[in-house]
Chains A and B, each alone.
Chain A
């Protein structure tokens, strides 16, 4: 390779050039400012996906309700009635739905962002914009689905409360935005890692769906953390989804064994995953169009 690629006049001031295109970008060289300049595009992508989803299928919005309702019924029968797994004395439908609604948002973020490069190869091959715009807008769009399913959960919660079920929503519900932020970071981070790897290895995309499913069973969706022997909880808590779902139940239903340090650790893991995801994504985005 040609190594004499030094500037023609070494002392020259490069500041007069607004863009410098080089073969590689440093691992830490994320162009945050440029991303900020494209914030309108994030908004427009969110709008596009939202309008697109609603216009294309009549079933679109209904599907958002059907999916959690049916999953809740199946879980109630299989894990509640047949396997008889404890629900921390909560009404089983409410217990499962709370886990499903939270899990679904994370799974949505992960699934959609992990196909960023392959799904957008057409646009990415024709025009440049910071590629991170796409996964970020995906995570925001998924919030709309979450809002719909969360409304479903709230109505069920109110229904059970009126019936006199032992549920105790409390002031801790203010933690919800923080939990969402944690899930978005985790989903975005893992999704970015996966999509960066799928530019090289296509078969990883198949593994994602399977992996997400396995992950769910390690995430306290179908069982409460209290079912796990206390000396092993620290291991499970390494998975940030466990404290997230537990905190959600603790805040909205008033039952759970989550502790502050677990949430803090979860947040730390999320941040770490997010950073490594963004850095990897940033590293491959320059040459991805050669491989996809």
Chain B
């Protein structure tokens, strides 16, 4: 099959100084100082250059080279700062690469956000037209699909009401409905699915699946391994701006998670920011540490059917009221196994600013031997934006303490049942 996206040796450099020097007088000041042979009064004194930054430069992407065939559905995974978003921005022409070239075939639609350009004073109808044409549709085309879009959004009766009066759910549905009817040849999607309630997310995933099955080429960037696994067939893994891995999604995701765990247990990275979804710049609270059974996670070993004690250190910046914790345990393929939701135990957090330690105890863990990961979220209310979300954090591995005696490398099943008894009941037929 012919390729519709070809990325050739693409690199992207950011200059740190570019962001800091934005005043004409400062530029003149620097030039004047250099001309007189003095040190630049505006040069940045950086003591720690933690990334591959020399002379205030960061290569967000370095020599990325790949091709994507028509109809392929590709996921892009990687930690924060690995260059995923930069790659997507280059593909959608929001910014230009520093070197290299990208070739695209067909109409490209990028969904880096839903509802871009929505105007609160305009009616739903007007916003469909506005948003649609921002995304690249012609007016005639929107008119043609208008009824379909309205039906999909389920806000038909409010279509002539200004969107400022919409609930956030209605707003999201309308915005996504427009995007879903773009009908491009190439669709680029960033984590738009991270917002909205479960029902909405399901609808989005369903629609994207439909687009993908319709023979369209889709690139999907996400932290959500479950969504990536469900939607995509092949996957690219970016690490520090390099293309680290590429292949069938299930294999890439597994290698990605294992690498994370390996890195973790070797003590290289216990920094939660690697696993953080989005930014905590404006969050009222964030997780600063996670401990498993009193030790560092990742290398924590839990006995088969052993108990689990999790300590979460939360740094509260603005007082929290009735917040809750959502804790999902996932397997090596990032499939969720169970979700512990503190509200079920009527455990709501009302905390003053400061550092707090939360303890969660689970009597026994019925998981089969293997490695496990978790997603942890702190939220203030259902459907509200989460204060902080940690994803695919390597949590522990369950060790066989003698219960599993035969065929220890069994490939299926994540749950190991407790208290199994076998017996032969003689001369008795099954009760009918």
Segment of A2-10, A98-106, A211-219, A221-229 engaged in the interface with chain B: A2-10
A48 touches B133 (CB 8 A): no
Segment of B114-122, B305-313, B322-330, B346-354 engaged in the interface with chain A: B114-122
| Closest Cβ–Cβ distance, residue B156 to chain A (whole Å) | 22
**Taking the complex as formed, is A126 at the interface, i.e. its CB lies under 8 A from any CB of chain B?**
yes
Q: In the complex, what distance in Å separates the CA atom of A44 from the CA atom of B99?
A: 35
Q: In the complex, what distance in Å separates the CA atom of A197 from the CA atom of B259?
A: 45
Residue of B92, B96, B106 touching A24 (CB-CB under 8 A): B96
Chain A, residues 110-144, CB within 8 Å of chain B (1/0): the string is 00000000000011111111000000000000000
Specify which chain B residues have a CB less than 8 angstroms from the CB of A43 in the assembled complex: 139
Q: In the complex, what distance in Å separates the CA atom of A7 from the CA atom of B9?
A: 10
A202 touches B23 (CB 8 A): yes
B104 touches A5 (CB 8 A): no
**Taking the complex as formed, is A163 at the interface, i.e. its CB lies under 8 A from any CB of chain B?**
no
Q: In the complex, what distance in Å separates the CA atom of A5 from the CA atom of B102?
A: 11
Which chain A residues in 23-73 approach chain B with CB under 8 Å?
23-25, 37-38, 40-41, 43-45, 47-48, 51-52, 55-56
**Taking the complex as formed, is B319 at the interface, i.e. its CB lies under 8 A from any CB of chain A?**
no
Say whether, besides A44-B129, A128-B92, A4 and B98 are in contact (CB < 8 Å).
Answer: no
A200 touches B22 (CB 8 A): yes
**Taking the complex as formed, is B153 at the interface, i.e. its CB lies under 8 A from any CB of chain A?**
no
Which of A21, A23, A41 has the most chain B CB atoms inside 10 A of its CB? A21
B121 touches A126 (CB 8 A): no
Q: In the complex, what distance in Å separates the CA atom of A43 from the CA atom of B100?
A: 36
Segment of B11-19, B36-44, B234-242 engaged in the interface with chain A: B11-19
Residue of B103, B110, B138, B162 touching A17 (CB-CB under 8 A): B103
**Taking the complex as formed, is B320 at the interface, i.e. its CB lies under 8 A from any CB of chain A?**
no
**Taking the complex as formed, is A201 at the interface, i.e. its CB lies under 8 A from any CB of chain B?**
yes
What residue in chain B is nearest A204 (Cβ atoms)? B24
Specify which chain A residues have a CB less than 8 angstroms from the CB of B216 in the assembled complex: none
Segment of A247-255, A259-267, A274-282, A284-292 engaged in the interface with chain B: A284-292
Say whether, besides A47-B126, A202-B23, A125 and B18 are in contact (CB < 8 Å).
Answer: no
What residue in chain A is nearest B106 (Cβ atoms)? A18
| Closest Cβ–Cβ distance, residue B24 to chain A (whole Å) | 4
Say whether, besides A2-B100, A17-B105, A201 and B23 are in contact (CB < 8 Å).
Answer: yes
Say whether, besides A44-B129, A286-B96, A290-B14, A21 and B90 are in contact (CB < 8 Å).
Answer: yes
A17 touches B135 (CB 8 A): no
Residue of A20, A126, A291 touching B19 (CB-CB under 8 A): A291
B94 touches A289 (CB 8 A): yes
Specify which chain B residues have a CB less than 8 angstroms from the CB of A56 in the assembled complex: 121
B95 touches A52 (CB 8 A): no
| Closest Cβ–Cβ distance, residue A27 to chain B (whole Å) | 14
Specify which chain A residues have a CB less than 8 angstroms from the CB of B11 in the assembled complex: 2
Question: Would you mind naming 11 contact pairs between A and B with Cβ atoms under 8 Å apart?
Answer: A19-B93, A22-B101, A40-B139, A44-B139, A48-B130, A51-B126, A127-B135, A128-B92, A203-B22, A291-B18, A291-B19
Closest 10 CB pairs of A and B: A201-B24, A21-B102, A286-B96, A128-B93, A19-B104, A40-B139, A17-B103, A41-B133, A202-B22, A126-B113
